[in-house]
Chains A and B, each alone.
Chain A
Amino acid sequence: MPEPVPSSAAVFDPEAYIAATAPLLGIAIEAGWTDAITANLRVLAGAAALLTEFPLPDTVEAAPRFEA
Chain B
Amino acid sequence: MSAAPPMDAASIAAAVAGRRSTARDVVAQTLDRIARTDGRINAFTDVLGARALARAEALDAALGEGATAGPLAGVPFAVKNLIDVAGLTTRAGAKINRGHPQAQRDGALVRRLEAAGAILVGALNMGEYAYDFTGENIHDGDAHNPHALDHMTGGSSSGSGAALAAGMVPLTLGSDTNGSIRVPAAFCGCFGLKPTYGRLSRAGSFPFVGSLDHLGPMARGVADLTLAYDAMQGPDPDDPVATPRAAEPVLPVLESGIDGLRIAVAGDYFARGGDPDAFAAVARVAQALGAGRTVELPEAHRARAAAYLITAAEGATLHLDRLRTRPGDFDPAVRDRLIAGAMIPAPFVERAQRFRRWYRDAVLDLFGGVDVILAPATPCRAPKGGQTHFVLDGVSLPVRANIGVFTQPISFIGLPVVAVPVRLDDGLPLGVQVIAAPWREDLALRVARYLERAGICTAPIAELT
List the interface of chain A (C-beta within 8 A of B): 17-18, 21-22, 25-30, 33, 36-37, 40-41, 43-44, 46-48, 50-52, 54, 56, 60-64
* A56-B351, A60-B354 given; 8 more Cβ-contact pairs under 8 Å: A25-B320, A33-B335, A37-B339, A40-B336, A44-B348, A48-B348, A62-B353, A63-B413
The verdict on A44 contacting B309 (CB below 8 Å), with A51-B348, A62-B357, A63-B353 known, is yes
13 A-B pairs with C-beta separation under 8 A:
A25-B342, A27-B327, A27-B342, A33-B339, A36-B333, A36-B336, A37-B339, A51-B351, A51-B352, A54-B355, A62-B356, A63-B353, A64-B353
Please indicate the chain B residues that have their CB under 8 angstroms from the CB of A21 in the complex: 343
Set of chain B residues within 8 Å of A30, measured between Cβ atoms:
327
The reply to whether the CB of B464 lies closer than 8 angstroms to some CB of chain A is no
Q: How far is the CA of A55 from the CA of B320 in the complex (A)?
A: 32
Binds A, one of B70-78, B109-117, B297-305: B297-305
Q: Give A42's nearest chain B residue, CB to CB.
A: B340
B357 touches A61 (CB 8 A): yes
* B200 CB to nearest A CB, Å: 19
Contacts of B367 in A (CB 8 A): none
A44 touches B324 (CB 8 A): no
Indicate if the CB atoms of B308 and A62 lie closer than 8 Å. no
Q: Which residue of B lies closest to A47 (CB)?
A: B305
How many residues on B have C-beta within 8 angstroms of the other chain's C-beta atoms?
38
- Check if B312 sits within 8 Å of A44, measured CB to CB: yes
Q: Is the CB of A63 within 8 A of B342?
A: no
CB distance from A60 to the nearest CB of B (A): 5
Q: A51-B355, A54-B302 are in contact. Are A62 and B339 (CB under 8 A)?
A: no
Complex partner residue of B299 from A36, A43, A54, CB under 8 angstroms: A54
A61 and B354 within 8 A (CB): yes
**Contacts A44-B309, A62-B354 hold; do A50 and B302 have CB atoms under 8 A apart?**
yes
Evaluate whether A63 and B320 lie within 8 angstroms (CB atoms) in the complex, with A33-B335, A40-B340, A44-B312 already known: no
Minimal beta-carbon separation of A34 from chain B (angstroms)? 9
**Chain B interface, >50% SS class:** helix
CB 8 Å contact bits of B309-337 with A (1 = contact, 0 = none): 10010000000100110010000110111
Q: What distance in Å separates the Cβ of B325 from its nearest Cβ neighbour in chain A?
A: 9
B: residues with CB less than 8 A from A are 211, 299, 301-302, 305-306, 308-309, 312, 320, 323-324, 327, 332-333, 335-337, 339-345, 348, 350-358, 360, 401, 413
**Which residue from chain B places its CB closest to the CB of A43 in the assembled complex?**
B401
Q: Chain A at the B interface: mostly helix, strand, loop or mixed?
A: helix
Contacts of A33 in B (CB 8 A): 332, 335-336, 339
Which A residues lie within 8 Å of B320 (CB)? 25, 27
Assess whether B348 is in contact with A63, with CB atoms less than 8 Å apart: no
Contacts of B336 in A (CB 8 A): 33, 36-37, 40
A60 and B357 contact, Cβ closer than 8 Å, known pairs A33-B332, A44-B308, A44-B312: yes
**Contact between A62 and B309, CB atoms less than 8 A apart:** no
Is B340 a contact partner of A41 (Cβ separation < 8 A)?
A: yes
Could you tell me the distance between the alpha carbons of A21 and B340 in the complex, rounded to whole angstroms? Answer: 10
A36 to chain B, nearest CB (A): 4
Contact across chains for A18 and B343 when beta carbons are under 8 A apart: yes
With A21-B343, A37-B336, A44-B341 already in contact, the answer to whether A50 and B305 are too (CB < 8 A) is yes
Given A51-B351, A56-B354: A25 in contact with B343 (beta carbons within 8 A): yes
Of the candidates A41, A43, A50, A63, which one forms a contact with B343 in the assembled complex, judged by CB atoms under 8 Å apart?
A41
Q: Which residue in B305, B323, B357 is a CB contact (below 8 Å) of A51?
A: B305
| Interchain nearest-CB distance for A37 vs B (Å) | 5
Q: Which 10 A-B pairs have CB atoms at the shortest separation, nearest pair first?
A: A40-B340, A62-B353, A47-B305, A63-B356, A36-B336, A48-B348, A50-B305, A63-B357, A41-B340, A26-B324
CB contact between B351 and one of A28, A29, A48, A64 (< 8 Å): that residue: A48
Contact between chains at B308 and A47 (CB < 8 Å) = yes
Whole-angstrom distance between the alpha carbons of A60 and B361 in the complex? 10
Given contacts A47-B308, A50-B301, contact A28 B327 (CB under 8 A): yes
In the complex, what's the smallest C-beta–C-beta distance from A28 to chain B, in angstroms? 7
Q: Specify which chain B residues have a CB less than 8 angstroms from the CB of A64 in the assembled complex.
A: 211, 353
Contacts of A36 in B (CB 8 A): 332-333, 336
B211 and A63 within 8 A (CB):
yes
Q: How far is the CA of A36 from the CA of B324 in the complex (A)?
A: 17
A62: chain B residues within 8 A (beta carbon): 350, 353-354, 356-357
Residue of A nearest to B348 (CB): A48
